[in-house]
């Protein structure tokens, strides 16, 4: 794990964001694409072909790509209710209770968020009406590794917002089965229908609609390269929440920080995948050394230790900063998905944080709890997107309709000024539409 000193060197090295080339894929993936499409294609070309094919052939195309790309040999596109109900019997009772507990916390938080979200109002002839998105599709990745927490973290905010219909698309295993963990979480969160479709074809189906899959108004949820490309390509036909990249965590630690906990916080994110970005900002070399020693000890105990080690060595690093204030300044520039303040009197620095998906204040608030049971959604901005967006929440499923309802006198006064501006812009039809209201008002007197 690299160690550098000072803000300038940090910006030049560890905190420098590189633009990921979307066309770089592993050799096995490139070979699969060539086999499926009969020629060498880039990921962008493959996704475009898939979307066009789903538009033309609907369910037939979905079944084809389920077989050709994901190796799914059987199974209807939609998961029936009997399979969803049976999923609960395949889950240990302790895990089922934990899912219910997490769902309760997540729901409580987002109900509170809804109370503070945009509200309808009307005043002085103008206002806004706040309504929920009518139909939402959520994508949940993973077959060998599954994330029931992501189901809860995406579906529950949508439900609390008042979304009318909520659908889930998720890849199936070779035998056509969907993990019972995903199905139980979907049932718990109030998902209406589940479709066993993965990758770009899932996004295309939700955006376009097929014989089986209804067209949605907005698509949410993280995914790999092909899902991300597909979401970008269908944006405009439907809304999307964001595009998501590898996990990011900055841990800020001072001399009071427990190196065991700081190391655990770094590793909790590093074990996601080899592209994760675990970064330590520490106030002294001693803090760095103690933390990295603990990292080495804990790596040996993790089943996903090699994945975590690769992430630490490739994208991770430690920066020795002059002060906590400098660390927060660098964190704001980087705009991480997760920011952990493992420092004394951590609350003092919260107001200085401007750009982060979530802030974990003090060692007693570990990021890992935020991934499961704290309450806020763990679906958060990556790739510097925290500078202009935030965690997925109720607000992502609400839309504002402007309302204008003027009485005669107010309409007349507004029309006079509006007509002047319209004439200056050369829009005489606009001006006339307002002036005719003035004529009627004058004629009524």
Q: Which structural domain, as residue segments, surrounds residue 155?
A: 78-240
Claim to verify: residue 373 and residue 342 sit in the same structural domain? yes
Helix (H, G, I), strand (E, B) or coil at 171: coil
- The answer to whether the Cα torsion of 245, 264, 369, 302 is positive or negative is positive
Residues 234 and 269 in one domain: no
**What mean pLDDT value characterizes the chain?**
94
Under DSSP, the state recorded for 255 is T
> Residue 27: its pLDDT value, please?
86
Residue 49 domain-assigned (yes or no)? no
- Cα angle 109, 142, 208 (rounded to 5 degrees) comes to 85
Which residue do the tokens 């900002």 mark?
281
Check whether residue 125 and residue 199 sit in a common domain. yes
Position 172 in a domain: yes
Beta-bridge mates of residue 278:
249
**Mean pLDDT of the 23-31 span:** 78
pTM: 0.92
Tokens of 218: 């907005």
Residues 301 and 418 both lie in one domain:
no
Residue 29 within any structural domain of the chain: no
**CA dist., res. 66 & res. 75, Å (int):** 10
- 8 A C-beta contact, residue 378 and residue 108: no
- In a shared domain, residues 192 and 107: yes
Q: Name the more confident of 43 and 143.
A: 43
Give me Rg for the CA atoms of the chain.
26
Measured between alpha carbons, how far is 106 from 374 in angstroms, rounded to an integer?
A: 7
- If asked whether residues 329 and 206 sit together in one domain, one would say no
In this predicted structure, what is the pLDDT of residue 118? 86
Indicate whether 206 and 261 sit together in one domain: no
- Is position 123 within any domain? yes
Are residue 118 and residue 142 in the same domain, yes or no? Answer: yes
Write down the catalytic residue from 110, 248, 271, 338.
338
Q: Is 34 helix (H, G, I), strand (E, B) or coil?
A: helix
pLDDT digits (tens, 9 = 90+) for 115-146: 998 899 999 999 999 999 999 999 999 887 88
Over 70: is that where the pLDDT of 21 sits? no
Q: Does any domain span residue 36?
A: no
CA distance 327 to 281: 6
Q: 255 an active-site residue?
A: no
Residue 24 has pLDDT above 70, yes or no: no
* pLDDT band with cut points at 50, 70 and 90 for residue 445: low
Mean pLDDT of 183-193: 97
Residues 82 and 229 in one domain: yes
Share of the chain above pLDDT 90, in %: 87
Tell me which of 294, 337, 363, 367 is the catalytic residue. Answer: 337
Find the mean pLDDT for residues 100-105. Answer: 97
Q: Does one domain contain both 124 and 84?
A: yes
Is 274 annotated as catalytic? no
Query: For position 25, what pLDDT does the model report?
Result: 74
Q: Would you say residue 43 lies in a domain?
A: no
Tell whether 276 is covered by a domain: yes
The enclosing domain of 379 has a CATH number of 3.40.50.1980
Whether 282 and 211 map to the same domain: the answer is no
Choose one of 190, 225, 240: the last residue of a domain.
Answer: 240
Cα–Cα distance, 130 to 132 (Å, whole number): 7
pLDDT the model gives residue 73:
79
Give the model confidence (pLDDT) of 216-254 as tens digits: 999 999 998 999 999 999 999 999 999 998 999 999 999
- Tell me whether residue 63 is in a domain: no
Confidence of residue 331 (pLDDT cuts 50, 70, 90): very high
pLDDT > 70 in the chain, percent: 98
**Final residue before a domain boundary, out of 240, 263, 287:** 240
- 221 and 262 fall within a common domain: no
Summarize pLDDT for 302-323 with one digit per residue, the tens.
Answer: 999 999 999 999 999 999 999 9
In the chain, how many domains are there? 3
């Amino acid at each position: 794990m690299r160690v550098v000193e000072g803000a300038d060197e940090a910006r030049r090295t560890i905190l420098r964001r590189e633009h990921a080339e979307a066309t770089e894929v592993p050799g096995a993936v490139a070979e699969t694409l060539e086999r499926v499409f009969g020629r060498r294609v880039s990921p962008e070309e493959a996704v475009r072909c898939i979307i066009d094919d789903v538009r033309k052939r609907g369910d037939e195309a979905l079944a084809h790509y389920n077989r050709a790309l994901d190796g799914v040999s059987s199974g209807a596109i939609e998961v029936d209710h009997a399979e969803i109900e049976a999923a609960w019997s395949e889950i240990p009772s302790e895990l089922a209770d934990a899912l219910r507990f997490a769902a309760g916390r997540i729901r409580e938080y987002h109900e509170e968020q809804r109370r503070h979200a945009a509200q309808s109002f009307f005043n002085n002839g103008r206002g806004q009406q706040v309504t929920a998105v009518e139909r939402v599709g959520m994508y949940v990745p993973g077959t060998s590794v599954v994330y029931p927490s992501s189901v809860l973290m995406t579906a529950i905010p949508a439900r609390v917002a008042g979304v009318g219909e909520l659908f889930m698309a998720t890849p199936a295993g070779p035998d056509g089965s969907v993990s019972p963990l995903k199905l139980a979480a979907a049932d718990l969160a109030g998902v209406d229908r589940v479709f066993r479709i993965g990758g770009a074809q899932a996004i295309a189906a939700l955006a376009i609609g097929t014989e089986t899959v209804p067209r949605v108004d907005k698509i949410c949820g993280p995914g790999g390269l092909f899902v991300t490309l597909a979401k970008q390509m269908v944006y405009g036909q439907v809304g999307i929440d964001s595009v998501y990249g590898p996990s990011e965590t900055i841990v800020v630690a001072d001399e009071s920080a427990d190196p065991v906990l700081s190391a655990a916080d770094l590793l909790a994110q590093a074990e996601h995948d080899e592209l994760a970005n675990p970064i330590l900002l520490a106030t002294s070399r001693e803090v760095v050394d103690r933390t990295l020693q603990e990292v080495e000890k804990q790596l040996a105990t993790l089943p996903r230790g090699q994945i975590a080690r690769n992430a630490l060595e490739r994208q991770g690093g430690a920066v020795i900063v002059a002060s906590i204030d400098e660390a927060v300044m660098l964190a704001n520039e980087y705009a991480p998905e997760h920011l952990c303040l493992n420092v004394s009197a951590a609350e003092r620095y919260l107001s200085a944080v401007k750009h982060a998906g979530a802030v974990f204040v003090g060692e007693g608030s570990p990021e890992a709890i935020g991934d499961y049971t704290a309450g806020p959604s763990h679906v958060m901005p990556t790739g510097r997107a925290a500078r202009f967006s935030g965690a997925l929440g109720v607000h992502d499923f609400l839309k504002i309709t402007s309302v204008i309802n003027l009485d005669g006198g107010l309409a007349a006064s507004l029309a006079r000024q509006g007509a002047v501006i319209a004439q200056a812009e050369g829009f005489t039809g606009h001006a006339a539409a307002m002036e005719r209201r003035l004529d009627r008002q004058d004629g009524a007197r």
